[in-house]
């Protein structure tokens, strides 16, 4: 899925004056349009059915707690984990620093609507001790990759998990999500 980065000056999206739908992530508002978002996200489509007659609707998108493990023994903020997730899964920048196409947020909202996925991530994180958060986070990313049917990310993540569990890397040219190499 290719997501285009957009400017704050974009006349179509992310403009309060022309918007009939507001997505809120960690207190940051993104203005967009119901007709576009309902076709893109089942989660938003369901949320909007309740407010069908309203002129302007606000949908709050919360980042699941299951995406907030500690990392490298440094405390990580909710914003930091959201940034890592966006970069690794969607290849986009954190919207708090650089506004992105609202369609990316719709995709995240749809993933949040999957009870299976949230439960699976919670279970994976609770099964791994705090000192092994790298592995737990890779498993969470793998769950998202599998849910989104992204085989390329699946293979790369499985290799990274193998490195963390066995201490050795099989094959050449494996890209590391955590080290950026």
Regarding pTM above 0.75, the answer is no
Judge whether residue 20 has pLDDT over 80. yes
pLDDT digits (tens, 9 = 90+) for 52-106: 677 778 877 765 554 444 444 445 565 566 666 656 555 555 444 444 444 455 5
Residue with token string 């938003």:
44
Cα 103 to Cα 4: distance, rounded to the nearest angstrom? 9
Per domain, the residue ranges of the chain are 16-166
Helices 78-85 and 133-147: crossing angle in degrees, nearest 10, is 50
Whether 23 and 61 have beta carbons less than 8 Å apart is answered as yes
């Amino acid at each position: 899925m290719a997501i285009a980065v957009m400017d704050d000056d974009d006349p179509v999206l992310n403009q309060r004056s022309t918007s009939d739908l507001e997505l809120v992530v960690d207190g940051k508002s993104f203005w967009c349009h119901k007709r576009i978002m309902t076709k893109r996200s089942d989660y938003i489509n369901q949320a909007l059915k309740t407010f069908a007659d309203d002129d302007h609707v606000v949908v709050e998108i919360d980042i699941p707690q299951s995406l907030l493990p500690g990392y490298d023994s440094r405390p990580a903020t909710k914003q930091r984990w959201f940034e890592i997730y966006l970069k690794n899964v969607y290849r986009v920048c954190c919207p708090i620093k650089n506004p992105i196409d609202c369609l990316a947020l719709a995709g995240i909202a749809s993933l949040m609507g999957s009870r299976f996925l949230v439960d699976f991530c919670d279970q994976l994180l609770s099964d791994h001790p705090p000192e092994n958060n790298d592995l737990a986070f890779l498993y969470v990313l793998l769950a998202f990759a599998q849910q989104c049917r992204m085989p390329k990310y699946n293979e790369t993540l499985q290799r990274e998990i193998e490195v963390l569990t066995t201490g050795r890397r099989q094959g050449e040219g494996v890209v590391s999500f955590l080290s950026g190499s």
